[in-house]
Amino acid sequence: MINLSTTYLGLKLKNPLVPSASTISDEIGNIRKMEDSGAAAVVLHSLFEEQLRADRDELFERMTSGTESFPEALTYFPEPPKFELGPETYLEHIRKAKAAVNIPIIASLNGSSAGGWTDYAKKIQQAGADAIELNIYFIPTDPGLSGAAVEERTLDIVKAVKSAVTCPVAVKISPFFSNTANMVQKLDQAGADGLVLFNRFYQPDIDIDELEIRPNVLLSTPQAARLPLTWIGILYGRIKADLAATSGVHQGKDAIKMIMAGATVTQVCASLYRNGIKHLAVMEKEMREWMDKNEYESVQQMRGSMSQKNCADPTAFERAQYMRAIQKPPMEKV
């Protein structure tokens, strides 16, 4: 009997397939379909720091409107940073999702700076979320901002959220730190219960006819799996936090590769947009068939079997693989 069960963020899951944060989860009906198709948990679409700040500032403006007519009235209301208000619709969506399905619901907070908005994590937990995925999306454009300052900024956000909640917190990060392994270790030490590798930066395009910058969202391809696959294989067994793979997981075989590298779960998004929610059932079937054919009884048996945990010098190993790769002719014609 094939056992696909796994444990992620302390949550017992029936398999490693977890739909990642996307607009697909905006509809409760879609979340039900995800559960019916085999999803082990669902990460809800993100609530953005900007939404929380805008909501707070708008309320402050409305409450203080006209108070300049008598100065003492200004003392009736706290300054904007002291408000802990945010979109109630997101909290209600969490409540409805929890009532609609039996699988864990993971909320997503997306931000780039430390501040009062992180307190909203507590309300998310109170609304019933089983865990929080903290998506830190920050592109440093200031040449004067050091790598150390960027790292500290990220760690401050994680520490702020961890201090606000008791539920598990996973951190979705960029691969562009000067030393990803060191940064992951710092996040692990800061209390991150899981690490989601990696965030994809959406790069804009230029419309040369309209002379405008256009947002251009490109869905991932299976080739995008190489980056998280590499780093999960390097990090497995070296940190306490769970490792979640995202980007490039389109088929059952992609999920298997990630698990062999050391992933606890694999997050799925682009393949659901392309193939529909029911594709989750196809992926699960593919995993079972491969495991049966190759005599694997459980996910636990596979996990980390192709990682670098037992390699004394991962840097030398990576260097050797690099030299082998560039000396091998490419498969495609040029």
**Positive or negative torsion for Cα 44, 49, 50, 55:** positive
- Enumerate long-range contacts of 56-61, CB under 8 Å, 24 or more apart: 56/80, 56/83, 56/85, 56/86, 56/116, 56/117, 59/83, 59/85
Q: With a cut of 50, say whether residue 71 has pLDDT above it.
A: no
Of residues 7, 6, 31, 4, the one with CA closest to residue 19: 31
Residue of higher predicted confidence among 309 and 55: 309
pTM above 0.75, yes or no: yes
pLDDT at site 80: 39
Buried residues in 75-86 as b, exposed as e (16+ CB within 10 A): eeeeebeebeeb
Q: With a cut of 90, say whether residue 202 has pLDDT above it.
A: no
Q: With a cut of 60, say whether residue 113 has pLDDT above it.
A: yes
Q: With a cut of 80, say whether residue 99 has pLDDT above it.
A: yes
CB 172 within 8 A of CB 133: yes
Residue of higher predicted confidence among 209 and 83: 209
Q: How confident is the model at residue 12 (pLDDT cuts 50, 70, 90)?
A: very high
CB 249 within 8 A of CB 230: no
Least confident of 80-89, 110-119, 305-314: 80-89
Least confident of 11-20, 87-96, 230-239, 319-328: 319-328
pLDDT at site 84: 33
Q: What is the pLDDT of residues 311-334, one digit of tens each?
A: 767 776 677 666 676 666 665 554
As a whole number of angstroms, the distance between CA 228 and CA 161 comes to 24
pLDDT at site 170: 98
Q: With a cut of 50, say whether residue 63 has pLDDT above it.
A: no
- The tally of CA atoms less than 13 A away on the side-chain side of residue 131 is 24
As a whole number of angstroms, the distance between CA 298 and CA 315 comes to 30
As a whole number of angstroms, the distance between CA 75 and CA 55 comes to 21
As a whole number of angstroms, the distance between CA 29 and CA 37 comes to 12
Q: How confident is the model at residue 257 (pLDDT cuts 50, 70, 90)?
A: very high
pLDDT mean over 133-151: 92
pLDDT at site 114: 83
Q: How confident is the model at residue 15 (pLDDT cuts 50, 70, 90)?
A: very high
pLDDT mean over 182-189: 97
pLDDT at site 207: 86
Q: With a cut of 70, say whether residue 65 has pLDDT above it.
A: no
pLDDT mean over 187-210: 90
pLDDT mean over 123-128: 97
Q: What is the pLDDT of residues 278-295, one digit of tens each?
A: 999 999 999 999 999 999
Q: With a cut of 60, say whether residue 140 has pLDDT above it.
A: yes
Q: With a cut of 50, say whether residue 159 has pLDDT above it.
A: yes
Helices 226-235 and 180-189, packing angle to 10 deg: 60
pLDDT at site 60: 41
Q: How confident is the model at residue 213 (pLDDT cuts 50, 70, 90)?
A: confident
Say which DSSP state 116 is in. Answer: G
pLDDT at site 311: 72
Q: Which domains does the chain have, with CATH numbers?
A: 6-307 (3.20.20.70)
Considering the chain, what is the average pLDDT of its residues? 87
Q: With a cut of 60, say whether residue 64 has pLDDT above it.
A: no
Query: 177: cis peptide before it, omega within 30°?
Result: no
Q: What is the pLDDT of residues 219-241, one digit of tens each?
A: 888 889 999 999 999 999 999 99
